[in-house]
């Protein structure tokens, strides 16, 4: 009868991978919970519950993540461990080059990633490019004869995978095809835009307008006609409680 083994007691494992949480939900960060939410929306809740039990009992022997694929071994009720495979799309070099350029263009995202953090907005950055950070569909296989899908063995692996994302958010990106070292190396090599940078124009090219008041070498016609009254206050705020008494003087400088 199909599924006759489903209630079989699993062979106890010594030294297996165990979930840290003993009850309740698994996953504590926004990125691991995002992955869990996807699983719990598309997978059978009963088998996910049994999968959590397997994950907490330490029935998962190993999990190996590489670009586009996770391979794992789970000890069930039979002597031979079951082989698990979970596949998603890994993005190619051209796609990752575009992703890295988009990240580098966002100074806050770039800084957070270089600091080892996963900014929540990065999911929106992927979406704006028409791609997904987290998989919508999982191509999953288990060597067990279970008729349900996903089986408890697959579920256990997926929960432990989510918990591994807690420990290292860069695994989410590595699964998509970019390791931490590759991504951070690329971002570190990408020069950050300097908002105060001024182009160095040779003096010989500026002889015609060098003595013209307020002119620039490139677009003198776009010189602003007036300075916002509060601009100096925002850019050079006075110390302590001097802002109020010095406001008229700052406005006078702006008008001048």
What band does 218 get if pLDDT is binned at 50, 70 and 90? very low
**What is the pairing mode between strands 139-142 and 69-74?**
unpaired
| Distance from C-alpha of 187 to C-alpha of 108, rounded to nearest angstrom | 12
Q: Residue range 103-131: average pLDDT?
A: 91
| Distance from C-alpha of 38 to C-alpha of 206, rounded to nearest angstrom | 60
Can you spell out the DSSP letters for the chain? -TTTTTTPPPPP-SS-B--S-SSS----SHHHHHHHHHHHHHS-HHHHHHHHHHHHHT-EEEEEEETTEEEEEE--SSSSPEEEEEE-PPP-HHHHHHHHHHHHHSHHHHHHHHTT---TTHHHHHHHTT--SS-SS-EEEESS---SSS-HHHHHHHHHHHHHHHH-THHHHHHTT--HHHHHHHHHHSPPP-TT------GGGGTTTTTSTT--SS-GGG--SS--TTHHHHHSPPSTT-HHHHHHHHHHHHH-
What band does 214 get if pLDDT is binned at 50, 70 and 90? very low
Does position 37 have pLDDT exceeding 60, yes or no? yes
What band does 38 get if pLDDT is binned at 50, 70 and 90? confident
Q: Residue range 2-19: average pLDDT?
A: 76
| Distance from C-alpha of 48 to C-alpha of 160, rounded to nearest angstrom | 12
Contact (Cβ atoms closer than 8 angstroms) between residue 133 and residue 176: yes
Does position 101 have pLDDT exceeding 60, yes or no? yes
173-182, 195-204, 239-248: which has the minimum mean pLDDT?
195-204
28-42, 214-228, 229-243: which has the minimum mean pLDDT?
214-228
96-100, 190-194, 239-243: which has the minimum mean pLDDT?
190-194
Does position 224 have pLDDT exceeding 50, yes or no? no
What band does 24 get if pLDDT is binned at 50, 70 and 90? confident
| Distance from C-alpha of 84 to C-alpha of 62, rounded to nearest angstrom | 10
33-47, 69-83, 188-202, 220-234: which has the minimum mean pLDDT?
220-234
The pTM of the full predicted model, rounded to 2 decimals, is: 0.70
* Dihedral pair phi/psi, residue 139, rounded to 5°: -90, 105
């Amino acid at each position: 009868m199909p599924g006759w083994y489903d209630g079989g007691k699993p062979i106890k494992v010594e030294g297996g991978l165990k979930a840290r949480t003993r009850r309740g939900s698994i996953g504590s960060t926004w990125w691991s919970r995002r992955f869990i939410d996807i699983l719990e929306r598309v997978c059978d809740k009963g088998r996910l519950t049994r999968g959590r039990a397997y994950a907490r009992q330490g029935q998962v022997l190993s999990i190996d993540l590489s670009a586009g694929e996770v391979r794992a071994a789970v000890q069930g009720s039979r002597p031979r461990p079951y082989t698990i495979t979970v596949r998603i799309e890994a993005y190619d070099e051209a796609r990752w080059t575009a992703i890295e350029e988009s990240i580098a263009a966002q100074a806050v995202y770039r800084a957070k990633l270089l600091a080892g953090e996963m900014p929540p907005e990065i999911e929106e950055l992927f979406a704006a490019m028409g791609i997904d950070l987290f998989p919508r569909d999982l191509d999953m296989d288990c060597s067990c004869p279970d008729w349900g899908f996903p089986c408890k063995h697959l579920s256990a692996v997926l929960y432990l995978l989510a918990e591994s994302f807690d420990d290292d958010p860069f695994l989410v990106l590595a699964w998509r095809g970019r390791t931490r070292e590759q991504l951070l190396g690329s971002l570190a090599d990408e020069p950050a835009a300097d908002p105060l940078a001024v182009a160095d124009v040779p003096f010989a090219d500026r002889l015609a307008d060098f003595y013209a008041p307020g002119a620039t070498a490139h677009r003198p016609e776009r010189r602003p006609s007036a300075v916002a009254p509060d601009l100096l206050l925002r850019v050079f705020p006075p110390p302590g409680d001097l802002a109020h008494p010095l406001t008229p003087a700052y406005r006078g400088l702006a008008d001048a």
